[in-house]
Chain A
Amino acid sequence: MAPVSTLPGFPAELDLLIGFIIGIGFGFALEQAGFSSSRKLAGMFYGYDTTVIKVFFTAAIVALVGSQFLSYFGILNLNNVFVNEYYVGAAIVGGIIMGAGFIMGGYCPGTGLSALSIGKIDALCYFFGGLTGAFLFAETYPMIEELANGSYRGPVKVNEVLGVSPGLFTFILIAAAIVMFWLAELAEKRFARPDISSEL
């Protein structure tokens, strides 16, 4: 049963090759979506272009629904798929710092890499900033270790916290996404910037 990498005798080298191929698909999808453009991404926060929320939630739901179906049919063992561990303070403070970086830089790390790959000079600066950020984190680690490792809750799932089944939560998430997509369309009309959109 999948994940394939957990099958007995699976060579570790092959998993690295899979990583490279997954990366190609990831970079290709990001660039095709228009995420190699910082002004398109920033549109999400000023309302003139809401591609970000459409792509992001569609992707999350496709992977969520797909993995649950594969699990239901006994193809994928979800117990062997990594679930992010919840450190309350680190998730919230880290998220706030990332949001500030998003609006200043115009990219997140993945979209920045896709922009760098097609020759965006601003994305190259973003990448060097990213290297500096990782370096500063490592060097300041003793100071923020407490925040980084505090309030640990484990790999807790959102549906368990809400006391509903994974299927019901997925259904609610899909309904919420449809409402958000509709609001996104309204926002694009309300905050339309034909001068910016024509340049993207």
Chain B
Amino acid sequence: MAPMKNKYMNPYLAGTLLGLVLLLAMVLSGRGLGASGGIKYCVVSIVGALDRGHADKSAYYSKYFENGQKPLRNWLPIEVLGILAGGFISGAVSKRLKFKIEKAPGISRARRLVFAFIGGLFFVYGAQLARGCTSGAALSGMAVLSLAGFVTMIAIFGSAYVFAWFFRKNWI
């Protein structure tokens, strides 16, 4: 198969598009973009549905159910639904919709899936602690000149570079 050139959008153009979406979020809703926060609301909602007593007793969960609130009726989880829809539209337009396990040739599919699970676990755990992930803390934070945003961005990328050496067999 001949290598396809320019399959994805030019990075500076895609970055401009992403920046305009972020600017629109600031102008319309007075906030930045998010992803891990939406995942948190999903978990809060699931825990509340499975064991409401546990949620009401917990200092962490209970604040999301105060005054009859519904965790999924918030900006972030609905925005996350939008991310899935927008990604799907983009994949359909660019003919990239395909069930696939993406991995380096040297590792097994099981290894890739296990590391993907652990990676997601670590990332969202860290994002709850730092009150935002690459989108909510780093990108959106930098756009409003938040010191927390810059510090979190440097910590994420610095840490990933350090750990990259240990996990190099997974990728290169």
| Interface set of A (CB-CB < 8 Å, partner B) | 2-6, 15-16, 18-34, 36-40, 42, 44-46, 48, 51, 54-64, 66-67, 70, 75-76, 78, 80-88, 90-123, 125-138, 141-142, 144, 147-148, 153, 155-159, 161, 166, 169-170, 193, 196, 198, 200
Contact = CB atoms under 8 A, between A and B. Distances in A.
Contacts of A200: 7
Given A23-B81, A104-B119, A118 B155 contact: no
Interface string B96-127: 11111111100000001111111111111111
Interface of B: 3, 7-9, 11-12, 14-36, 39-40, 42-44, 46-47, 58-61, 73-76, 78-91, 94, 96-104, 112-164, 166-168, 170-172
Interface residues of A, dominant DSSP:
helix
Contact of B87 (A19, A36, A66, A101): A36
Contact of A141 (B17, B39, B60, B149): B60
Contact of A22 (B24, B43, B90, B164): B24
B161 to A, nearest CB: 6
A137 B129 CA distance: 8
Contact of B28 (A5, A86, A107, A144): A5
Given A16-B75, A67-B143, A129 B120 contact: yes
A72 to B, nearest CB: 14
B117 A128 contact: yes
Contact of B129 (A104, A144, A196): A144
A23 B12 contact: no
Given A82-B144, A156-B147, A19 B82 contact: yes
Given A54-B12, A100-B160, A63 B119 contact: no
A87 B3 CA distance: 47
B43 A24 contact: no
B120 A101 contact: yes
Nearest first, the 9 closest Cβ-Cβ pairs linking A and B are: A105-B119, A23-B82, A95-B155, A99-B159, A62-B19, A58-B15, A94-B130, A129-B120, A27-B86
